[in-house]
Chains A and B, each alone.
Chain A
Amino acid sequence: MSETSPVLPLNRGGHVGHCKRFLAGLPAGAVEADASRVAIGFYCLGSLDLLGTLETKTRPEERAAWIRWMWEQQSVCGYGTGFKGSNYMTIDIRSPPSAQYAEYDTPNLIMTYTSILSLAILRDDLSRLDRKGLVQFVRSCQREDGSFSALPSGGETDLRCVYCAFAISSMLNDWTGIDLNRALAYIRRCEDYEGGYGQQPSDEALGGTTYCALASLYLAPSNASAQRLIDSAFRARTIRWLLHNQAVDGGFSGRTNKISDACYCFWCGASLAILGAGDLVDNAALVAFLARCQFSMGGLAKAPEKPADPYHTYMALAAAAVLPSPHVNETWTLSRLDVLWNTTEGTAAWLRKHLTEKA
């Protein structure tokens, strides 16, 4: 594909501008993100990190302010310590804990994972992280069947939350918050006949949750290796299913016979990279698809001709970082990605130094 149609350059300046606009504020129409602003922050900061422009395109005082805001989301609850997605239910963090909502303003497991990554991207030394409380919080989110929920008080459980628990535990190098046997058994129960993993047991195979399952299995500590080993026949099925999700337009769909979406270019592409099969992807066609997802005003969209948003901007850049194509111009050169933690290798090294190795 690269021979016939030259790939558009990556509009780096436009994408930096897109991320900075969203960091500065969201329109009223984006109110559905009210409880998960930390995630929006992660997508924007993560994109700047992948572009290698965080230090040059943002001011030190801006980064210091973001770090202060992030730490304000760390909160203690009856279930331990974690990060909230925003202060959308917060009255005043200076009031004593008893004056705050016990059940309606708790930390969130997914937001905790993205907060730790965001703080590492901003090169905070993470010394204020309440490690013990964090492990307790992870433990409180695990359910009887081995799955995890985003909130300790309950709510839906699925592989996304399992992945966040595994990522946090591996960053802390402390697995005492997880009943591993049960968690690994739950992941196995999410295997689908097509070769992917569903969001919950007996759900349809889906790109995003397949990434969550595989990354968790590879993050699991080596003493869990007996169960960690993925059955080789199922592994072959997974690779086949993932590769067949690449459509004629070069993009990946998240499920069989669905249309391509930039985010699934990452979820499927990263899954293949985890399995050591990333080099089997037609990466020239993939990058050509991502290039066409660029929005004229900056940012990347789920598909060509669609409006951009921070989530698809990050996922598209992460896809291009994890499966770089040798056939494109240098504008597409991005920071290398640590595929299991889903952050740049530079940020992963920072996490290891300030968190993992301090265990």
Chain B
Amino acid sequence: MSYIEEDEESGPPLYCERPEWADVTPIPQYEGVSSPIAPIFYTPDYKDATDYFRGIVKTGETSERVLELTEDIIRMNPAHYSAWQYRYRTLLALNAPLDAELRLMDDFAVNNLKTYQVWHHRRLLITHLTVSTPGAKPTADPLDTAQAELEFIVHVLDVDTKNYHTWSYRQWLLAHFDDSALWLGELPYVDELLQADVRNNSAWHHRYFVVFGRGSKAQATPAEEAEVLQREIRYVKGKISFAPNNISAWNYLRGILEYSKTPFSSQAVFAESYTVRRAPWDDEDVVDLDNPKPSTDADLPSVSAMDFLAEAYAREGGDSITKAVDLWKALANQHDTMRKKYWEFRIKESLETKSG
């Protein structure tokens, strides 16, 4: 049929047809003594390229054409980790411009977001580009490089705002270079993402990382720490008021309270207004900036608010446990029946603790 001929004409020639590769002995894959498990029916292109790759690795050649060959292979199979490893070795051996390699990898990353090797390769490149060796300056300015990378990741996250590898890479960059100038832009960026999608848990997680996960470098006085905590509590409560059933925000609130060892009961007043259906006179309430009320179109009661408030009561202990039990019963029987067994378990557990 005609399309097969067209295909043959339009595709690039195989390595075995190219005179400039004639000096390399292609080595076929070892086929094994018996019928293999899950053999892959390779395309002629892939089989040809990997035959030549095995030939190259055997002789240990590191040259320009190896970059072409390995690029070809990882485009066909981005999970070919030997090709990635050998490519990196060749880049270093050739003293090749690594910034050009980064630009080549930009599109590749966007098209292969879920491939481990893509991101690992980038880490190696960035580390090598910015490392200082005794008596020599790094090839690239570390701060400029990291800044450019952070901007690049913004574009990648536009494609998939919750991509795990991409977020992990962003956090690695921030921790690796650990410069205040880099950290400074993170909260506005997170805020932008949460304004677009308040349920983006990766963005909430990043916020936690930026504010609380920075480690020893972010030295602050106790007063500054307290101020940051209050700022974050205000921020997350504001987000909850517009989407009271968003568990990501509630988990963030719980997380920062746990981190700072602040009792959940400190937020009981706030949570309580989300556990009841809205009363018509609520609109006349005085605006309390510390405890924003649910927005008028909120879907209440919020299961997450009931979960939070019950936890606060349970931790208070004593007579408050009865109030926790009432909330758990309502969750089990009416508002969150999928987790009925869990809420009943919480009731049983807390009553045992109380009597014990």
| B209 nearest CB neighbor, chain A only | A202
Report the minimal beta-carbon distance from B230 to chain A, rounded to whole angstroms: 18
| B252 nearest CB neighbor, chain A only | A193
Q: Are A104 and B86 in contact (CB under 8 A)?
A: yes
Residues of A within 8 A of B162 (CB): 255, 258
Which of A88, A151, A153, A237 makes the CB contact (< 8 A) with B50?
Answer: A88
Q: Are B86 and A93 in contact (CB under 8 A)?
A: no
Residues of A within 8 A of B39 (CB): 25-26, 37
Report the minimal beta-carbon distance from A100 to chain B, rounded to whole angstroms: 9
**A285 vs B202: C-alpha distance when bound (angstroms):** 27
**A332 vs B42: C-alpha distance when bound (angstroms):** 36
Report the minimal beta-carbon distance from B220 to chain A, rounded to whole angstroms: 19
**A105 vs B86: C-alpha distance when bound (angstroms):** 11
Q: Are A89 and B33 in contact (CB under 8 A)?
A: no
Interface string of B31-52 (1 = CB under 8 A from A): 1111111111111001000100
Interface string of A199-213 (1 = CB under 8 A from B): 110111110000000
Q: Are A244 and B339 in contact (CB under 8 A)?
A: yes
Q: Are A41 and B171 in contact (CB under 8 A)?
A: no
| B197 nearest CB neighbor, chain A only | A257
| Cβ of A345 under 8 Å from chain B | no
Report the minimal beta-carbon distance from B186 to chain A, rounded to whole angstroms: 13
The segment from A137-145, A274-282, A291-299 that touches chain B is A274-282
* Residues of A within 8 A of B (CB-CB), count: 72
Which of B27, B168, B251, B339 makes the CB contact (< 8 A) with A241?
Answer: B251
Known: A206-B164, A256-B247, A279-B341. A33 touches B40 (CB 8 A): yes
| Cβ of A103 under 8 Å from chain B | yes
Q: Are A101 and B58 in contact (CB under 8 A)?
A: yes
Residues of B within 8 A of A277 (CB): 345
* Residues of B within 8 A of A (CB-CB), count: 64
**A198 vs B205: C-alpha distance when bound (angstroms):** 11
**A100 vs B246: C-alpha distance when bound (angstroms):** 55
**A169 vs B259: C-alpha distance when bound (angstroms):** 34
Which positions 18-36 of chain A face chain B at CB distance < 8 Å?
22-28, 30-36
**A30 vs B252: C-alpha distance when bound (angstroms):** 39
| Cβ of B63 under 8 Å from chain A | no
Interface centre among A32, A153, A199 (most CB of B within 10 A): A32
Report the minimal beta-carbon distance from B151 to chain A, rounded to whole angstroms: 21
| Cβ of A156 under 8 Å from chain B | yes
Known: A32-B78, A203-B164. A192 touches B205 (CB 8 A): yes
**A122 vs B82: C-alpha distance when bound (angstroms):** 29
Q: Are B50 and A243 in contact (CB under 8 A)?
A: no
| Cβ of B133 under 8 Å from chain A | no
| Cβ of B213 under 8 Å from chain A | yes
Report the minimal beta-carbon distance from B176 to chain A, rounded to whole angstroms: 12
Q: Are A93 and B116 in contact (CB under 8 A)?
A: no
Residues of A within 8 A of B339 (CB): 243-244, 246, 280, 282
Seen from chain A, the residues whose Cβ lies within 8 Å of a Cβ on chain B are 22-28, 30-38, 40-41, 44, 62, 64-66, 68-70, 72, 87-93, 101, 103-105, 151, 153, 155-156, 192-194, 198-200, 202-206, 237, 239-241, 243-244, 246, 248, 250, 255-258, 277, 279-282, 285
14 contacts between A and B (CB under 8 A): A28-B41, A34-B80, A66-B37, A87-B30, A89-B82, A104-B85, A153-B85, A202-B213, A205-B205, A206-B164, A256-B247, A257-B200, A257-B248, A282-B340
